[in-house]
A and B are shown apart, each in its own frame.
Chain A
Amino acid sequence: MNWRILLRSPFWLHALIIAACTYVVWDGTGKLFRYKMFPYVIVGIIITFSVAELVRHGIGRIKDRKRDTVDLSVAALPDLSLTEYDIRSIRFIIWLIILIALFYILGPTFAVALFMALYLSIEVRMWWVNRVLIVAAMTLMTQYLFIWALDLTVPEGLLARIIY
Chain B
Amino acid sequence: MAHFLSELQIALAMSFAPMTLLYLVIGVVVGMILGIIPGFSGVTGMVILLPFVFNLDVAEGMALLLGMYVATTITDTIPAVLLGVPGTAASQAHVLDGYPMAKRGEADRALSASYTADVFGVVIGFFLFLAVIPVLAAMTMAFGSPEYFAMGVVGICAVGTISTGRGQALKGVIIGFLGVLIATVGMSLHTGLPRYTFGQHYLLDGFPIVPVILGLFALPEIIDLFAHDETIADKNTPQGRRGGTVAGIIDAFRSWFLVVRTSIIGGIIGFVPAVGGPVAQWIAFAHAKQTEKNADQIGSGDVRGIISAQAAVSSCKPASLVPTLVFGVPGDVVMAILMGAFLVMGIRPGPHMVGADLNITLMLMFIIILGNIVAVIISLCLGRWLLNITKIKSSIITPIILCFMLMGSLVATGGFGDIAVFVGFGILGFIMDKTGWPRIPLVLGFVLGPILETYLFISYDAYGVGFVLRPIVMICLVIAVTMIAWPALRSFMRRRKPLGAKI
Give me the interface of A with B, judged by CB distance under 8 Å: 7-8, 13, 17, 20-21, 23-24, 27, 31-32, 34-35, 37-39, 41-43, 45-46, 49-50, 52-53, 56, 84-86, 88-89, 91-93, 95-96, 99-100, 103-104, 108, 112, 115-116, 119-120, 123-124, 126, 134, 138, 142, 146, 150-155
Contacts and interface: CB of A to CB of B under 8 A. Distances in A.
Nearest to B396: A124
B419 A142 contact: no
B400 interface: yes
Contact of B184 (A42, A49, A116): A42
Contacts of B408: 146
Contact of B423 (A8, A42, A100, A138): A100
B380 interface: no
A100 B196 contact: no
Contacts, number: 145
A126 B184 CA distance: 47
Nearest to B485: A52
Contact of A103 (B188, B393, B419, B457): B419
Nearest to A86: B227
A84 B227 CA distance: 8
Given A45-B177, A104-B416, A142-B403, A155 B195 contact: no
A35 B188 contact: yes
Contacts of B222: 92
Interface stretch (B72-80, B131-139, B431-439): B431-439
B486 to A, nearest CB: 13
Contact of A7 (B410, B434, B452, B456): B434
A152 B457 contact: no
A39 B173 CA distance: 16
B446 to A, nearest CB: 12
Given A49-B177, A93-B223, A124-B393, A154 B55 contact: no
Contact of A43 (B181, B413, B419): B181
Contact of B431 (A7, A32, A37): A7
A38 B458 CA distance: 12
B289 interface: no
Contact of A38 (B228, B416, B457): B457
Given A92-B223, A103-B406, A20 B178 contact: yes
Contact of B435 (A8, A37, A89): A8
Contacts of B170: 49, 52-53, 56
A58 B378 CA distance: 54
Contact of B453 (A38, A115, A124): A38
B429 to A, nearest CB: 13
A142 B405 CA distance: 11
A17 B175 CA distance: 9
B449 to A, nearest CB: 8
A52 B481 CA distance: 13
Given A20-B178, A50-B174, A123-B399, 17 more contacts: A17-B174, A24-B181, A27-B196, A35-B195, A38-B452, A38-B453, A39-B195, A41-B456, A45-B177, A56-B170, A89-B227, A92-B223, A126-B396, A138-B403, A146-B408, A150-B51, A155-B414
B467 interface: no
17 contacts: A7-B434, A17-B174, A24-B184, A32-B193, A35-B188, A37-B460, A38-B453, A49-B177, A53-B174, A56-B170, A84-B227, A88-B227, A112-B403, A119-B399, A146-B410, A152-B411, A153-B410
B456 A38 contact: yes
A43 to B, nearest CB: 7
Interface residues of B, number: 57
B174 A115 contact: no
A95 B403 CA distance: 11
Nearest to B227: A88
B13 interface: no
Given A17-B178, A154-B414, A88 B229 contact: yes
Contacts of A42: 177, 180-181, 184
Contact of A142 (B167, B190, B407): B407
B52 interface: yes
A124 B178 contact: no
Nearest to A8: B435
Nearest to A4: B434
Contact of A92 (B398, B400, B411, B419): B398
A155 B432 CA distance: 30
B54 interface: yes
A13 B427 CA distance: 13
B228 A85 contact: yes
Please indicate which of the listed interface residues B181, B419, B460 has the most CB atoms of chain A within 10 Å of its own CB.
Answer: B181
A150 B191 contact: no
A85 B230 CA distance: 12
Contact of A146 (B193, B407, B488): B407
Contact of B410 (A43, A104, A152): A152
B16 interface: no
Contacts of A85: 227-228
B261 interface: no
B406 A100 contact: yes
B255 interface: no
Contact of A34 (B55, B171, B191): B191
A112 B228 CA distance: 24
A115 B407 CA distance: 13
B196 A92 contact: no
Contacts of B415: 155
- 5 closest cross-chain pairs (CB), A and B: A153-B414, A88-B227, A53-B170, A92-B226, A38-B453
A150 to B, nearest CB: 6
Contacts of B435: 7-8, 13
Given A38-B457, A89-B227, A152-B407, A46 B174 contact: yes
Contacts of B396: 120, 124, 126
